[in-house]
Amino acid sequence: MFYITTSFSPIRAISGEKAPIILEIRIRNDYPKSKLTSLLVKTPFSLGFDSVGLFRETRRRVGYIKSGTEKIVPIQLFPKVNIKEGNHNVDIKVYSHDDRYDKVDKQFDLSTSLRVINR
């Protein structure tokens, strides 16, 4: 089983700023053996993975996580220029694989929200 936590740096975005927000995804492996891991992150229309906001979905191959250890995956999120104040949900799916990335053993879903404030 994986234990997954998230955090944002800075903890909130400011409407109208172009600076990226770093989403840190911490994945801890509580399985008795190493697991091959990947993840999928989806954002709403108000956020993106590039400065223009065209890409709203990214997949990352994390690699093997040894039993009892933790990996941190940093992902940059860019707010669009016209982002509204409030909470914006980011969906995360973490996959464990046996030996190859095309075979999914288990899937873990998580949702977090980024708070956006006005200046």
pLDDT, one tens digit per residue, over 51-103 is 887 899 999 999 999 999 999 999 999 998 888 999 999 999 999 998 899 99
CA 50 to CA 21: how far, in whole Å?
11
pLDDT band for 8, please (50, 70, 90 cuts). Answer: very high
- The pLDDT of residue 63 is 96
- The pLDDT of residue 11 is 93
Determine what percent of the chain is predicted with pLDDT higher than 90: 82
CA 89 to CA 43: how far, in whole Å?
7
Q: What is the mean pLDDT of the chain?
A: 93
